[in-house]
């Protein structure tokens, strides 16, 4: 039965984490400068971050108002469907060009790129048969995902016992990565443990390297020889990067399904790349708007993500403002960080805010 | 300053990546033939390192108001593109030193030297970090066996169970695998005098899982529990 669910769920997962991000990214990125959004990788990563940001925008109020998980799934899936339909109707030619360009890049690619892809996937395949030593976080987070999907509530089950609870910790209420995983479990039907501990690595690891590829493409101005060398060295550095349980590579090769891992290996590096990309030239307001969406995606992983994203963006904006003599970059970056400021303020005043919601009788429990 | 010392010792450890990182930043910043984009990345890394990551005031604020403890504060290192900076500097060095027209041997030699540098500076993700997965769910196989026995016997919906408190693999495995088993309490005190009666009066449960070494085993059936099955390390009883 589990095998049947797994086989049936894989095509849905490929759709959810393969096609939908490209369509969503294409729908969203069309207002950015053409030179930024030429590649499939860029659009795909933008799409994934938009998906996380939308989940954050829906999940936090739904959690605070104690709405049902099913209502969230319907609203979220519907929103993504709208992005996809818009993309297919209005961005058809752009999408065709994206896939055409990707196809011709693959056709003329040096064989060493294929070796690199194999090197990226080899550890992932090997680690499919292993698990990091049993760790408490598995019990908390994966149990949480299971409970959300099964109980149709949002974080209202005690992960230690399985009993219902009435108070959700700020840490879980104000981020939404686990709701995102529960959505994936719900739509694919794949068991949480199989999805998170084995299958997701096959998506997350290459996305992480793809983001690094974007960054190297920017740094080396698409010099293929340098990019290839950098990616090989990066691969080696990651394999030998077990000097700390808080190194980025540690997240890549252990609990890759965790929100901290997604933040460290995908969201933060992409934010770094995007800020360098847009701050180098005169930024349009829509580019700051995109930045704001990506910062919201960082908030969805953990609340730490909110703080880290803002710190990185502000420091980069100050550097570029000074070097390029454009002080307005700092103001734009500050405004883009408003979502993070809102979530951090909610975190600081969480108890007060939730108590106020209860007094107002706002918990309607939409089902 | 204690926080700074903690960050240094806990994050970088005894490996050489700090040295690789520092050298990469210096090379990128001060070599004239390196692109401005790379220099900006190196500048960001240097400033972030000094003003953010190792800033004791920021650290104190973050730990007091936003983080659970100073271990959580180690995530600040995510801001540093350590691997990117080192890989960038290495590839610039490699491409400038091993020209396209150079013989293959020379190119491999230079790449090999740089790779050995990485291997000697770092720590590999070795076998001691991982356990071989016992099943597709990557949970303890004993936990999976217990779950399967109860799932076959129980009615649809949620079921409450008692199980040994100290057995983390069993508890973690159960809760991760299925949301249908609610841990009503623990079976450790059942073999104390009056323990079973107290549990029956105060806790609502259907199944009891006890370790094979417990003395309680003898009196469970006398107390009206149905013996279901024995797994490798546990007996499973059903109430009634």
- Chain A positions touching B179 (Cβ under 8 A) are 143, 146-147, 149-151, 157, 162
Would you state the pLDDT for residue A365?
45
CA geometry: angle A53, A308, A268, nearest 5 deg: 60
Whose structure tokens read 């994934």?
A: A48
Return the structure tokens found at B142. 């004993």
Average pLDDT over residues B163-184: 89
> Could you tell me the pLDDT band of residue A363, with boundaries at 50, 70 and 90?
low
Q: Give the count of beta carbons closer than 10 Å to the beta carbon of residue A235.
A: 20
Q: What is the ipTM of this complex?
A: 0.93
- Per DSSP, helices labelled H in A128-200 are 136-137, 143-151, 170-173, 177-188, 192-194
- Please say if the pLDDT value at position A150 is more than 60: yes
When CB atoms are compared, the residue of A234, A242, A243 closest to B87 is A234
Would you state the pLDDT for residue A362?
63
Return the structure tokens found at B70. 């100073």
3-state class (DSSP) for residue B227: strand
> Which sequence spans correspond to the domains of chain B?
2-126, 141-238
- Asked if B208 and B187 count as a contact pair (C-beta separation under 8 A), the reply is yes
Average pLDDT over residues A305-330: 95
Return the structure tokens found at A254. 């252990």
pLDDT digits (tens, 9 = 90+) for A262-281: 999 999 999 999 999 999 99
Interface of A with B in 293-352 (CB under 8 A): 303-304, 307-308, 311-312, 315-316, 319-320, 323, 344, 347-348
- Asked if B174 and B183 count as a contact pair (C-beta separation under 8 A), the reply is yes
Would you state the pLDDT for residue B73?
85
> Could you tell me the pLDDT band of residue B217, with boundaries at 50, 70 and 90?
low
Would you state the pLDDT for residue B62?
80
A236 and B180 in contact by Cβ < 8 A? no
Report the alpha-carbon distance of residue A356 to residue A353 in Å, rounded: 5
Interface of B with A in 54-73 (CB under 8 A): 62, 65-67, 72
Average pLDDT over residues B216-222: 74
Return the structure tokens found at A77. 């899936």
Would you state the pLDDT for residue A325?
93
> Could you tell me the pLDDT band of residue A197, with boundaries at 50, 70 and 90?
very high
- Asked if A176 and A353 count as a contact pair (C-beta separation under 8 A), the reply is no
Interface of A with B in 138-167 (CB under 8 A): 138-139, 142-143, 146-147, 149-151, 157, 159-163
Would you state the pLDDT for residue A153?
93
Interface of A with B in 116-135 (CB under 8 A): 123, 127, 129-134
Q: Give the count of beta carbons closer than 10 Å to the beta carbon of residue A124.
A: 18
User: Which of the pair, B219 or B201, is modelled with greater confidence?
Assistant: B201
Average pLDDT over residues B56-62: 83
Would you state the pLDDT for residue A366?
40
CA geometry: angle A236, A240, A242, nearest 5 deg: 145
Least confident window among A123-137, A239-253, B73-87, B174-188: A123-137
> Could you tell me the pLDDT band of residue B7, with boundaries at 50, 70 and 90?
confident
- What phi and psi values does residue B136 have, to the nearest 5 degrees? -70, -20
A192 and B176 in contact by Cβ < 8 A? yes
Return the structure tokens found at A365. 């429990």
Q: State which residue of chain B sits closest to A316, comparing Cα positions.
A: B44
Return the structure tokens found at A27. 């729908």
- Please say if the pLDDT value at position A227 is more than 50: yes
pLDDT digits (tens, 9 = 90+) for A39-97: 999 999 999 999 999 999 999 999 999 999 999 999 999 999 999 999 999 999 999 99
pLDDT digits (tens, 9 = 90+) for A152-195: 999 999 998 999 998 888 989 999 999 999 999 999 999 999 99
């Amino acid at each position: 039965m589990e095998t049947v669910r797994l086989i049936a769920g894989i095509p849905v997962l490929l759709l959810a984490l393969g096609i939908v991000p490209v369509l969503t990214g294409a729908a969203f990125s069309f207002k950015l400068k053409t030179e930024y959004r030429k590649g499939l990788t860029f659009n795909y990563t933008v799409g994934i971050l938009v998906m996380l940001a939308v989940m954050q925008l829906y999940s936090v109020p739904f959690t605070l108002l104690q709405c049902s998980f099913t209502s969230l799934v319907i609203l979220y899936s519907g929103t993504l469907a709208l992005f996809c339909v818009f993309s297919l109707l209005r961005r058809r030619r752009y999408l065709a060009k994206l896939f055409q360009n990707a196809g011709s890049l693959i056709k003329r690619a040096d064989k060493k790129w294929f070796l690199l892809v194999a090197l990226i996937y080899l550890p992932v395949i090997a680690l499919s048969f292993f698990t990091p030593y049993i760790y408490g976080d598995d019990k908390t987070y994966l149990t949480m995902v299971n409970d959300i999907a099964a109980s149709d509530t949002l974080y209202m089950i005690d992960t230690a016992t399985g009993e219902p609870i009435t108070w959700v910790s700020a840490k879980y209420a104000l981020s939404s990565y686990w709701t995102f995983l529960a959505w994936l479990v719900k739509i694919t039907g794949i068991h949480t443990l199989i999805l998170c501990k084995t299958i997701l690595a096959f998506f997350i690891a290459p996305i992480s390297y793809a983001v690094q590829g974007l960054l190297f493409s920017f740094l080396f101005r698409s010099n293929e020889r340098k990019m290839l060398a950098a990616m090989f060295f990066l691969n080696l550095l990651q394999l030998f990067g077990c000097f700390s349980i808080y190194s980025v590579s540690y997240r890549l090769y252990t609990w890759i399904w965790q929100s901290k891992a997604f933040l460290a290996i995908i969201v933060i590096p992409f934010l770094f790349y995007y800020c360098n990309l847009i701050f180098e030239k005169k930024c349009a307001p829509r580019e700051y708007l995109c930045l704001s969406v990506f910062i919201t995606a960082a908030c969805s992983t953990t609340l730490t993500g909110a703080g880290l994203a803002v710190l990185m963006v502000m420091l980069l904006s100050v550097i570029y403002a000074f070097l390029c003599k454009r002080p307005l970059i700092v103001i734009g970056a500050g405004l883009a960080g408003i979502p993070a400021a809102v979530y951090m303020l909610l975190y600081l005043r969480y108890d007060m805010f939730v108590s106020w919601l209860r007094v107002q009788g706002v918990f309607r429990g939409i089902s | 300053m204690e926080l700074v010392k903690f960050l240094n010792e806990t994050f970088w450890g005894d490996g050489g990546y700090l040295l690789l990182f520092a050298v990469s930043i210096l090379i990128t910043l001060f070599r004239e033939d390196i692109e401005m984009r790379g220099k900006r990345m190196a500048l960001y890394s240097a400033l972030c390192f000094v003003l953010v990551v190792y800033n004791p005031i920021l650290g104190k604020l973050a730990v007091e108001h936003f983080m659970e403890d100073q271990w959580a504060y180690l995530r600040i290192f995510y801001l540093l593109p350590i691997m990117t900076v080192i890989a960038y500097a290495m590839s610039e060095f490699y491409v400038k030193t091993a020209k396209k027209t150079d013989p293959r041997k020379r190119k491999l030699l230079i790449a090999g030297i740089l790779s050995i540098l990485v291997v000697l500076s770092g720590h590999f993700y070795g076998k001691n970090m991982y356990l071989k997965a016992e099943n597709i769910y990557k949970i303890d196989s004993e936990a999976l066996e217990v779950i399967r026995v109860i799932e076959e016997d129980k009615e649809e919906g949620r079921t409450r169970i008692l199980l040994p408190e100290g057995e983390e693999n069993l508890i973690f495995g159960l809760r991760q695998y299925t949301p249908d088993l609610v841990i009503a309490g623990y079976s450790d005190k059942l073999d104390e005098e009056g323990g079973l009666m107290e549990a029956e009066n105060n806790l609502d449960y259907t199944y009891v899982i006890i370790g094979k070494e417990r003395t309680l085993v003898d009196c469970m059936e006398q107390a009206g529990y149905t013996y279901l099955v024995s797994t490798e390390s546990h007996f499973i009883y059903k109430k009634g």
